[in-house]
Amino acid sequence: MPLFTHPRPEFPPPISYGPLQLTSRFHLSPLAGYTNLSFRRIVRQIGGIGLATTDLVSADAIVYENPKTLKMIETHPEDRPFAVQIFGRDAKMMIDAAQILVTRGVDSIDINMGCPVARIAGGGSGAGMMCNADDTVALVQQIVEAVSIPVSVKMRLGWDSTQLSAPTFAREFEKIGVVAIAIHGRTRAQGFSGSVDLGGIRKVAEATESIPVIGNGDVRTVADAEKMLSETGCDGVSIGRGALANPWIFKQLSQWEETGEWSSPGSFNDRLELLLRQFSYMQDQWGPEGAIVRFRKMSHWYLKSMRVKPALRHHFQQAKTVEEFNAALAVIVEAGPVGENRTGLLPDMHIPVPSGPIEHW
Ligand SMILES: Cc1cc2nc3c(=O)[nH]c(=O)nc-3n(C[C@H](O)[C@H](O)[C@H](O)COP(=O)(O)O)c2cc1C
Among residues 49, 59, 61, 115, the one annotated as catalytic is 115
For ligand 1, the distance from its centroid to the CA atom of residue 200, given in whole angstroms, is 18
Q: State the Cα–Cα distance between residues 333 and 22, nearest whole angstrom.
A: 38
Which tens digits make up the pLDDT trace of 291-301?
999 999 999 99
Q: Stretch 337-342: mean pLDDT, rounded?
A: 94
DSSP 211-274: S-EEEESS--SHHHHHHHHHHH--SEEEESHHHHH-TTHHHHHHHHHHHSEEE----HHHHHHH
Q: State the Cα–Cα distance between residues 254 and 262, nearest whole angstrom.
A: 8
Q: Is the pLDDT of residue 117 over 90?
A: no
Contacts of 278 by beta carbon, 8 Å cutoff, 6+ apart? 38, 39, 41, 42, 295, 298
pLDDT at 355: 58
Number of the ligand 1 atom closest to the C-alpha atom of 242:
26
Q: Is the CB of 114 under 6 A from ligand 1?
A: yes
Looking at the DSSP bridge assignments, the partners of residue 180 are 152
Q: State the Cα–Cα distance between residues 266 and 268, nearest whole angstrom.
A: 7
Q: Is the CB of 36 under 6 A from ligand 1?
A: no
For ligand 1, the distance from its centroid to the CA atom of residue 175, given in whole angstroms, is 26
Q: Is the pLDDT of residue 361 over 60?
A: no
Average pLDDT over the chain, rounded to whole? 95
Which tens digits make up the pLDDT trace of 175-213?
999 999 999 999 999 988 889 999 999 999 999 999 999
What is the phi/psi pair of residue 265, to 5°? -75, 180
Nearest CA to ligand 1 atom 6: 31
Q: At what angle do helices 37-46 and 249-259 cross, to 10 degrees?
A: 30
Q: Stretch 109-114: mean pLDDT, rounded?
A: 95
In this prediction, residue 357 has a pLDDT band, given cuts at 50, 70 and 90, of: very low
The ranges assigned to domains in the chain are 13-263, 268-335
Q: Is the CB of 27 under 6 A from ligand 1?
A: no
What is the phi/psi pair of residue 74, to 5°? -70, 150
pLDDT at 123: 85
pLDDT at 122: 83
In this prediction, residue 96 has a pLDDT band, given cuts at 50, 70 and 90, of: very high
Which tens digits make up the pLDDT trace of 245-287?
999 999 999 999 999 999 999 999 999 999 999 999 999 999 9
pLDDT at 118: 86
pLDDT at 1: 64
For ligand 1, the distance from its centroid to the CA atom of residue 2, given in whole angstroms, is 31
Q: Is the CB of 351 under 6 A from ligand 1?
A: no
Answer yes or no: 115 catalytic.
yes
pLDDT at 358: 47
For ligand 1, the distance from its centroid to the CA atom of residue 50, given in whole angstroms, is 17
Looking at the DSSP bridge assignments, the partners of residue 82 are 52
Number of the ligand 1 atom closest to the C-alpha atom of 219:
26
DSSP 134-160: HHHHHHHHHHHHH-SS-EEEEEES-SS
Q: Is the CB of 191 under 6 A from ligand 1?
A: no
For ligand 1, the distance from its centroid to the CA atom of residue 191, given in whole angstroms, is 10
Q: Is the CB of 137 under 6 A from ligand 1?
A: no
Which tens digits make up the pLDDT trace of 157-176?
999 999 999 999 999 999 99
Q: Could you tell me the pTM of the whole model?
A: 0.96
Q: Is the pLDDT of residue 74 over 50?
A: yes
Q: State the Cα–Cα distance between residues 341 and 339, nearest whole angstrom.
A: 7
Q: Is the pLDDT of residue 349 over 50?
A: yes
Nearest CA to ligand 1 atom 30: 31
13-263: CATH, from 3.20.20.70, 3.40.50.150, 3.40.640.10, 3.40.190.10: 3.20.20.70
For ligand 1, the distance from its centroid to the CA atom of residue 53, given in whole angstroms, is 11
Pocket test for ligand 1, best of 181, 184, 192 (most atoms within 8 A of CB): 184
Pocket test for ligand 1, best of 28, 31, 39, 188 (most atoms within 8 A of CB): 31
